[in-house]
Amino acid sequence: MKVSYFPGCTLKNKAKDLDAYAYRSAEALGVTLEEIENWQCCGGVFTTSQDEVATKLSSVRALKYAADREQPLVTVCSACHNVIKQTNHAMQTNKEFSAKVNRYMANDGGYNGEAEVYHYLEMLRDLVGFDKVKEAVKNTLKGKKIAAYYGCLLLRPSKVMGMDDPENPVIMEDLIRALGAEAVIFARRNECCGAYTSVESPETAKRNASAIVENAKAAGAEMIITACPLCKYNLVKNGADIPVVYFTEILAEALGVKEDTDGK
Amino acid sequence: MENNKYLREEILRMSGVNTSKCMKCGKCSATCPAYDEMEYHPHQFVGMVEMGDIEPLLKSESLYKCLSCFACVERCPRGVEPAKVVEAVRLVAVRRQGANRMTANDVPETIEEDTPQQLLVSAFRKYTK
């Protein structure tokens, strides 16, 4: 199976391992991630104002690329996923917005929300199947206690994102179990880490991130996984004393392809 | 208190929110992870925009404390979507001439070895027009 892949700015720089482990793991599961040519940064945050058009065009162009190839558009970073999925939803449901966007897209043939957007986790669940992931495990993670930290962007707004129950998600826990490890559930797994405010007010991130880590540890976690480079940064920066890693890293480890990616 | 009808309509149009649906239960503010940093809280944004009392919001630091985490949007029992109101007021403020809160010159001071690009692009998206 081939999919159009939107890596995003951070996966090409500070989160190269998130990207590399995603590639190798997909390959091991029979999925080829075909990187979208000339993709542009999603902007990091979806601007909810209906008169913001230019800030959403990079997402529309990526969506158009996938639609033209009749491939699902797959993202890994939580922020890219949130922005692209919300943009696609706006293209499907808001006629005024879609008409304005299409004035910019006329030379490219226009776009009307035809693409389907999958987060890598959804790709594993819906296109590959967690049962197939389980079968492909070479190094079981049995005995590890892993907490899934969702943060805000993967789940909300749930009416648009549609990934999982926004208050009681299971997708990452199901992945952890498929890899043989024990999923640790904790209350703050879907609360915000402090996001971009750590640029100017680190105290918000400090309070939120340390509460998240403490909560996960109190529930028995020995490791936290995330899909978001900014969540990882905020958690690590604010003193996480258990490993915080990308979900693709434990996936690559279990599938036996982690070593191949080192040094890539 | 000033009732700024023009700005009120502008903000309602930009956000697509119907502020009159709010029943003032306060759940949005109770669930807000930036509550402690805010002078005006999510339920106050909704109420003050409904009343057209917008100038105090435009001048408030609270605009830059919203994390866009959509907790209030998800948990509002009336589907009011307060974060969209905060976002629209913030845009009205930063779109004014010279009102960008962050410039490229601020970046070197901000970044460290491990700063993810996502942090900077997100901050620019929120703090500038």
User: Which of A9, A48, A236 has its CB closest to that of B121?
Assistant: A9
Please provide the CATH number assigned to the domain covering A2-120.
1.20.1050.140
Residues in chain B: 129
Provide the pLDDT for residue A262. Answer: 53
More confident residue, B112 or B63: B63
CB B85 within 8 A of CB B52: no
User: pLDDT at residue A264 above 50?
Assistant: no
Q: So what CATH class is B5-96?
A: mainly alpha
Per CATH, the number for A133-261 is 3.40.50.11810
B123·A208 Cβ contact <8 A: no
H helix or E strand, kind and range, residue A10: none
The answer, yes or no, to whether residue B57 has pLDDT greater than 80, is: yes
* DSSP 8-state symbol, A180: T
Residue boundaries of the structural domains of chain B: 5-96
Q: Give the per-residue pLDDT at A102.
A: 97
Q: What are phi and psi of A50, to 5 degrees?
A: -70, -15
Query: For residues B55 and A244, what is the distance between their CA atoms, to the nearest angstrom?
Result: 42
Given pLDDT bands bounded at 50, 70 and 90, which one contains residue B94?
A: very high
Residues A45/A196, Cβ–Cβ less than 8 Å? yes
Residue % of chain B over a pLDDT of 70: 99
Q: What is the C-alpha separation between B76 and B25, in angstroms, rounded?
A: 9
Distance CA A136, CA A239 (A): 35
Give chain B's radius of gyration (CA, Å): 15
Contact B122, A44 (CB under 8 A): yes
Nearest to A222 by CA among A146, A161, A148: A146
C-beta separation of B94 from B127 below 8 A = yes
Q: pLDDT grade, residue B104 (50/70/90)?
A: confident
Top residue of B49, B70, B114, B115 to mutate, by most chain A CBs within 10 Å, is B70
pTM of this structure: 0.96
Query: What local confidence, expressed as pLDDT, does residue B62 receive?
Result: 96
- A56-88 per-position pLDDT tens digit: 999 999 999 999 999 999 999 999 999 999 999
Task: Classify residue A127 by burial, with Cβ atoms within 10 Å: 0-12, 13-18, 19+.
Answer: middle
Per-residue pLDDT, A36? 98
Q: Dump pLDDT digits (tens) for A147-204.
A: 999 999 999 999 999 999 999 999 999 999 999 999 999 999 999 999 998 888 888 9
> Residues A216, A221, A225, A231: is their CA dihedral positive or negative?
positive
In DSSP terms, which residues pair with A183 in a beta bridge? Answer: A146
Domain boundaries, chain A: 2-120, 133-261
Q: B8 CA to chain A: closest CA distance, Å?
A: 14
Q: Which two tokens stand for residue A197?
A: 């405010």
- A33 has which bridge partners? A3
Q: What is the CA radius of gyration of chain A?
A: 18
Contacts of A152 in chain B (CB under 8 A): 67-71
Average pLDDT over residues A27-49: 96
Q: pLDDT per residue over A99-131, tens digit each?
A: 999 999 988 889 999 999 999 999 999 999 999
Average pLDDT value for chain B: 94
Establish if B119 touches chain A: CB-CB under 8 angstroms.
Answer: yes
CA distances to A83, A156, B27 from A164, in Å:
17, 9, 22
Residue B109's φ and ψ, nearest 5 degrees, are: -70, -25
Please name the residue ranges forming H helices in chain A.
16-28, 57-68, 78-93, 95-105, 120-122, 130-136, 158-161, 171-178, 202-218, 229-237, 247-255, 258-261
Is there a contact between B117 and A9 if contact means CB atoms under 8 Å apart? yes
